[in-house]
Amino acid sequence: MLSFLDAFSGYHQIPMALADEEKKAFITPYGLYYYKVMPFGLKNASATYQRLMTKIFKTPGWPHSGEVFHLLRRYDMKLNPSKCAFGVSVGKFLGFMVSQRGIEVSPDQIKTVMEMPPPKNKRSCSASQANSSHWDVS
């Protein structure tokens, strides 16, 4: 059985370092404002978020669900219940289907490719090739 957790606006749960708050300040007609939490779009936001997740879940092996919730509470991380799934055999993660068998392409992605119209001439054939050049089919 698998479980999938999603933090509620994860980046916004990470406090900005006091020294960095003024670096992201902005002015509006109503005054000067600065972020108290990490906003989306910062260059190192994803790395900072991943560092926090690594710090929270640094225990060897994957902790049991009770321990996961204890760790999340300790770091004051809140989950988005509508995006969490517990005790399921398959779930969607980063656009892929994850199960005990492994990682598979999502049916939504397959459907999009299967519904693409076939090329009608040389120009549309080149466009189709260019659009699919980033796919790894190995």
Which is it for the CA torsion 55, 61, 62, 68, positive or negative? Answer: negative
**Position 115 in a domain:** no
The residue range of the domain holding 76 is 2-86
Tokens of 108: 């939504």
Quote the tokens at residue 43: 């260059």
74 located within any domain: yes
The one-character DSSP state at 32 is E
Q: Are 77 and 68 in contact (CB under 8 A)?
A: no
Overall pTM > 0.85: no
Number of domains within the chain: 1
Look at residue 70 and tell me if it is in a domain.
yes
Output the tens digit of pLDDT for each of the chain's 138 residues.
888 888 888 888 888 888 888 888 899 999 999 889 988 888 888 898 888 888 888 876 666 778 888 888 998 899 999 988 888 998 888 888 898 899 988 888 788 778 878 878 877 776 666 566 555 555
Q: Which residues contact 39 (CB under 8 A, 6 or more apart)?
A: 11, 12, 24, 45
Q: For the chain, percent helix, then strand, then coil, each to nearest 5?
A: 40, 20, 40
